[in-house]
């Protein structure tokens, strides 16, 4: 299972220079409900909800959504390992990914955020290689 950080879906939807491989969308994908909120927030902020909204809905529908349950919130409230603390929303994503792992699922994190991937590695969460095509 691959846990999607919002940076990945936004890179794909906004046709950034960096974009995940097409093969990623054939994997079993999961993310926090937070990803859906962040995605729509950014699409609205950039005036892209009308032009990219249908594509966003299709992609988001492929992702198993995790709610921000009490164990996830509790983990996000704890310190994180590594050289720097994750930002608040990243902490919620990392806690969600850790919850999946701690529930016995094999999970890796897909993110373009270097701070987030460094923290994931410090938490012994594998990082999905987004440069693979």
Q: What is the pLDDT of residue 84?
A: 81
Collapsed DSSP state (helix, strand, coil) of residue 4: strand
* 49-78 per-position pLDDT tens digit: 999 999 999 999 999 999 999 999 999 999
Q: What is the pLDDT of residue 15?
A: 80
CA distance 9 to 48: 14
* 23-34 per-position pLDDT tens digit: 899 999 999 999
What's the rounded mean pLDDT across residues 4-31?
A: 91
What's the pTM value of the predicted model, to 2 decimals? 0.93
Domains and CATH numbers, the chain: 2-122 (3.40.50.1010)
CA distance 100 to 3: 9
* 108-126 per-position pLDDT tens digit: 999 999 999 999 999 999 9
* Mean pLDDT score across all residues of the chain: 94
Q: What is the pLDDT of residue 132?
A: 59
Q: What is the pLDDT of residue 83?
A: 81
Collapsed DSSP state (helix, strand, coil) of residue 75: helix
Long-range pairs, 81-90, Cβ under 8 A, ≥24: 81/119, 81/122, 81/123, 82/118, 82/119, 82/121, 82/122, 82/123, 83/118, 84/115, 84/118, 84/119, 86/115, 86/116, 86/119, 87/115, 89/6, 89/34, 89/38, 90/5, 90/115, 90/116, 90/119
């Amino acid at each position: 299972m691959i846990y999607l950080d919002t940076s990945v879906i936004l890179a794909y939807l906004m046709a950034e220079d960096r974009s995940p491989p097409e093969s990623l969308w054939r994997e079993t994908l999961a993310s926090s409900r937070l990803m859906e909120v962040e995605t729509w927030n950014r699409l609205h902020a950039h005036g892209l909800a009308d032009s990219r909204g249908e594509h966003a809905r299709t992609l988001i529908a492929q992702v198993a959504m995790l709610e921000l349950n009490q164990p996830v919130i509790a983990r996000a409230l704890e310190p994180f390992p590594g050289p720097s603390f994750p930002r608040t929303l990243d902490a919620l994503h990392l806690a969600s990914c850790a919850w999946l792992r701690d529930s016995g699922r094999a999970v890796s994190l897909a993110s373009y955020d270097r701070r987030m991937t460094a923290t994931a590695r410090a938490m012994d969460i594998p990082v999905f290689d987004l440069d693979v095509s």
